[in-house]
Structure 1
Amino acid sequence: MELKQLRYFVAVAEAGHMTRAAARLGMQQPPLSQQIRALETRLGTQLFVRHPKGVTLTESGQVLLADSRRLLEEAAAMERRMKDIAAGRAGSLNIGYTSSAAAHAFTPRVLRECRRAYPGIALQIVEDHAAGLTDSLAAGRLHCAFLRVPVARPAELVFETLLREPVLVALPAGHPALEGDGPVALRSLERERFILVRQHGAPGLYAQLLALCEKSGFLPAQVQEVGRMMSALNLVAAGEGVTVVPASMHGAHAHAIGYRLLDQPLDAPLTLVWRAGEGSAALQSFVALVRAAVADGRDA
């Protein structure tokens, strides 16, 4: 039994006449009658009572009419869903971000815009560090991710820098370096405990910081590693040391932390990463939306 036969059957039932139904369907009456007879043969029951003025439904026909309408509506809905998925208007996206990437206003804003522009796309959001997100992308568990400085660049991933912002040094309230309004000399922090977020041997924002320290003639005597930037800021607020964060995080623990620019040039990118050749139309729509937001300068 084909959907075409059910459409023919519903047309005849609604018209109450073979010839009128054939005209509505844009076909000749004899082929339509043949399709109805074939359907009756397939189902093993008579669907219509034929009489000179047209046709009326049998009991079996009345049951089939209700079922046919439901099946045809479901088939039409399925076709619409498939077209929406193919066009990137529906589907699902698994999106990751680091805590520092999420702190920039651009990231939550573009996620909200995606929900408004594409209500048919279901977003699943996860947070992880840059290395974990990169592994998940390479393994196909994520479609895309927002992070700062990439810690690895697998060949199968695409890395696109969306924007850049200054990096600030975060110091406990009352720290002598906060007495002035100008940039803090990196060399003046030589004896401080640096609280850094990085994996052993992995490049990233903090590897760039250590390179600047070395260029300034020193390496931090004390380094404490943590898993998240917010963990580092929590420790700074408790007076355990200093850290550096993108400027968009400067509001965290405002009562207990002071933020200043460094006298050395250091900035933090916001990077979007996805798998090269990823066939998801929903992902293509999302990347296009992100690029449009960047071009408009929203939250840059």
Structure 2
Amino acid sequence: MELRHIRYFLAVAEEGNFTRAAARLGIGQPPLSLQIRDLETEIGTRLFHRVPHGAELTEAGRAFLERVRPIPQRALEAAEAARRAERGETGVLRLGFTGTSVLHPVLGASIRAFRRRFPDVELTLEEANSAVLLGGLEEDRLDAAILRPSLSEASTIQAFALVREHLVAAVPAGHPAASGSAPLDLRLLREEPLLLTPRRVGTSLHDAAIEACRAAGFEPGIGQSAPQIASVLSLVSAELGFSLVPDALRQLSIAGVAYRDLKAPVPHVELAVAYPRQRPSRLAMNFAEMARAAAHEFEA
């Protein structure tokens, strides 16, 4: 039984006449009559009484009508639902983001813009470091993520830069380098341990901090590591060393920690929106588009 058989049946049932039903459907009466006979043969019973002035439903026809009347509309609704899903207008977007991105306005702006454009999409959110987010994208646990990209992700992940964040020095409040209005020369910290998260947790930030020290003319001594940036700042507060962190982390007002701008050339790290390179979902691509637009407006 095909959908067109149901459409033909409904037209005859509603018109009560094969000629008028054929005109309504835009087909000839003989082909319509043939299609109805085929339907009756498939069902195994007569659906219409042929009468001089038209056609009347049999008892079987009335029972059939009751069941099939909603089908064409439901088929239209199902087709539209499929088209909306293909356009990424419905479904669930599994979005990941790094803890440090929470402090940058581009994350909130991206989610806000996406929600306004696609209100019927459900969002599930996961906060983790960039390495975990990368694994989530590769293992199909996440559809998209805002993370700090690195070259090692290039083969499996499609990433688009959103913003460049300057790094600033986080130093113990009692350190001589904690005060002053001029940009800080990193060489003043060359005798202090550099406190970082492990490289496996966040490759780009880890490497950018070490490279900044090398660009300033010294090889940093790596001090105690911590799993999260907030933990690193606690170690700075405890006077175990200094760290280089994205500028947005100034918002973390931690007792015993002072933030200093750095002397040019100022190192930076990027925030990017990413999704799997192979078979990304339309939802992920839509979010990436909205994130890039939000970032463009932010930088403008």
TM-score (norm 2): 0.85
Residues 35 and 207 of structure 1, relative CA distance in 2, 3 Å threshold: same
Q: Which residue of 1 aligns with 2:171?
A: 171
Q: Which residue of 2 aligns with 1:288?
A: 289
Distance 1:139 1:125 in 2: 16
Distance 1:7 1:219 in 2: 78
Q: Which residue of 1 aligns with 2:260?
A: 260
Task: Please state how far the C-alpha of 1:280 moved relative to its aligned partner.
Answer: 2.9
Q: Does 1:242 find its partner at 2:242?
A: yes
Distance 1:202 1:298 in 2: 25
Task: Please state how far the C-alpha of 1:113 moved relative to its aligned partner.
Answer: 1.2
Distance 1:272 1:200 in 2: 19
Q: Which residue of 1 aligns with 2:24?
A: 24
Task: Please state how far the C-alpha of 1:277 moved relative to its aligned partner.
Answer: 4.5
Q: What does residue range 74-93 of structure 1 map to in structure 2 within 5 Å?
A: 74-93=74-93
Structure 2 residue runs of 5 or longer lacking an equivalent are none
Task: Please state how far the C-alpha of 1:34 moved relative to its aligned partner.
Answer: 1.9
Task: Please state how far the C-alpha of 1:175 moved relative to its aligned partner.
Answer: 4.6
Distance 1:229 1:135 in 2: 20
Distance 2:135 2:201 in 1: 16
Distance 1:205 1:47 in 2: 73
Residues 238 and 59 of structure 1, relative CA distance in 2, 3 Å threshold: farther
Q: Which residue of 2 aligns with 1:275?
A: 276
Distance 1:53 1:257 in 2: 93
Q: Does 1:132 find its partner at 2:132?
A: yes
Task: Please state how far the C-alpha of 1:188 moved relative to its aligned partner.
Answer: 2.6
Q: Which residue of 1 aligns with 2:187?
A: 187
Task: Please state how far the C-alpha of 1:223 moved relative to its aligned partner.
Answer: 1.5
8 Å CA contact 2:201, 2:227 repeated in 1: no
Q: Does 1:251 find its partner at 2:262?
A: no
Distance 1:93 1:53 in 2: 57
Q: Secondary structure at the match of 2:223?
A: strand
Residues 137 and 252 of structure 1, relative CA distance in 2, 3 Å threshold: same
Task: Please state how far the C-alpha of 1:117 moved relative to its aligned partner.
Answer: 0.9
Q: Secondary structure at the match of 1:166?
A: strand
Between 66-75 and 277-286, report the one with greater CA deviation. 277-286
Distance 2:104 2:240 in 1: 25
Q: Which residue of 2 aligns with 1:146?
A: 146
Q: Secondary structure at the match of 1:67?
A: helix
Q: Secondary structure at the match of 2:181?
A: coil
Aligned length: 299
Distance 1:76 1:205 in 2: 51
Distance 1:173 1:235 in 2: 12
Task: Please state how far the C-alpha of 1:149 moved relative to its aligned partner.
Answer: 4.3
Task: Please state how far the C-alpha of 1:241 moved relative to its aligned partner.
Answer: 4.5
Q: Which residue of 2 aligns with 1:10?
A: 10
Query: What's the RMSD between the two structures over aligned residues?
Result: 2.8
Provide the identity percentage: 35
Distance 1:60 1:177 in 2: 91
8 Å CA contact 2:167, 2:268 repeated in 1: yes
8 Å CA contact 2:233, 2:254 repeated in 1: no
Q: Which residue of 1 aligns with 2:55?
A: 55
Residues 226 and 72 of structure 1, relative CA distance in 2, 3 Å threshold: farther
Distance 1:129 1:260 in 2: 24
Distance 1:141 1:65 in 2: 45
Residues 86-139 of structure 1 show CA distances to partners (whole Å, capped at 9, x for unaligned) of 334334433322112232111221122112212344433322222222233334
The residue type equivalent to 1:285 in the other structure is: N
The residue type equivalent to 1:169 in the other structure is: A
8 Å CA contact 1:105, 1:299 repeated in 2: no
Task: Please state how far the C-alpha of 1:50 moved relative to its aligned partner.
Answer: 3.2
The residue type equivalent to 1:118 in the other structure is: F
Q: What does residue range 115-130 of structure 1 map to in structure 2 within 5 Å?
A: 115-130=115-130
Distance 1:197 1:284 in 2: 30
Distance 1:49 1:241 in 2: 93
Q: Secondary structure at the match of 2:63?
A: helix
